[in-house]
């Protein structure tokens, strides 16, 4: 798979950004609601969409004063940080913390190859929001997250997008296969269509 050459400095900057995420900033996670009782943007979903929602995971994350810009709304690039906080909380509890002192750290050295986002409604306050995410694709060395940033009650979609990550060998900085244990853990987030396709293959 073609990939832009990453310098050691770029990787170190990326890892430093990960390590700035404090697990304490992530509060208790919630799971997708029962399609029969869900309200807001997930109401009246089709059966296929309801099944997919069961593969989604929602983390409650905190918005701080310094996440706001001069206009009093969350700065556009802080949405990437909100996703980072959510993923850090989820994977830390799953046993793959972003901590160089932990034995599994080498397995979670990923570089972000692509980040795309569409903004819908500004967030104009501090407090908590929900970050819902799932995996649209799980490849040999890469994975694709889909995500939404939601209001605390889930009734408003503030933004949505996707993030493509590539696992790197920490020594060579070249793409490396995702290990079997981590791959199995990733399957818990895999969208049904992709999971079914891999099962057939």
pLDDT digits (tens, 9 = 90+) for 7-45: 333 333 333 343 333 333 333 344 343 333 333 344 444
Is the per-residue pLDDT at 153 higher than 70? yes
**The model's pTM:** 0.71
Please provide the CATH number assigned to the domain covering 30-200.
3.10.129.10
Q: What stretches of the chain adopt beta strand conformation (E)?
A: 30-31, 57-63, 110-119, 127-138, 142-150, 157-167
Query: CB atoms < 10 A from the CB of 160, how many?
Result: 18
Residue 162 CA to its chain's centroid (Å): 8
98-152 pLDDT tens trace: 888 888 999 999 999 999 999 999 999 999 999 999 999 999 999 999 999 999 9
Confirm if 163 and 147 have CB atoms less than 8 A apart: yes
Q: Phi and psi for 102 in degrees, rounded to 5? A: -95, 145
57-97 pLDDT tens trace: 999 999 999 999 999 999 999 999 999 999 999 999 999 99
Average per-residue pLDDT for the chain: 78
Domain boundaries, the chain: 30-200
Q: What share of the chain is helix, strand, coil (3-state, %, to 5)?
A: 35, 30, 40
pLDDT at 18: 37
């Amino acid at each position: 798979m073609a990939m832009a050459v990453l310098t050691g400095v770029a990787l170190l900057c990326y890892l430093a950004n990960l390590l700035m995420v404090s697990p304490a900033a992530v509060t208790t996670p919630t799971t997708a609601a029962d399609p029969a009782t869900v309200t807001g943007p997930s109401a009246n979903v089709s059966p296929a969409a309801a099944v997919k929602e069961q593969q989604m995971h929602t983390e409650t994350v905190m918005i701080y004063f310094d996440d706001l810009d001069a206009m009093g709304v969350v700065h556009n690039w802080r949405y990437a940080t909100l996703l980072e906080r959510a993923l850090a909380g989820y994977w830390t509890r799953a046993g793959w913390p972003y901590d160089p002192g932990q034995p599994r750290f080498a397995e979670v050295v990923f570089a972000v190859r692509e980040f795309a986002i569409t903004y819908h409604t500004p967030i104009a306050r501090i407090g908590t929001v929900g970050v819902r995410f799932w995996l649209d694709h799980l490849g040999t060395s890469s994975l694709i997250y889909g995500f939404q940033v939601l209001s605390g009650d889930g009734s408003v979609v503030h933004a949505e997008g996707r993030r493509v990550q590539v696992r790197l060998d920490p020594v060579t900085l070249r793409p490396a296969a995702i290990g079997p244990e981590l791959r199995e853990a990733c399957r818990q987030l895999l969208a049904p269509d992709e999971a079914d396709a891999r099962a057939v293959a």
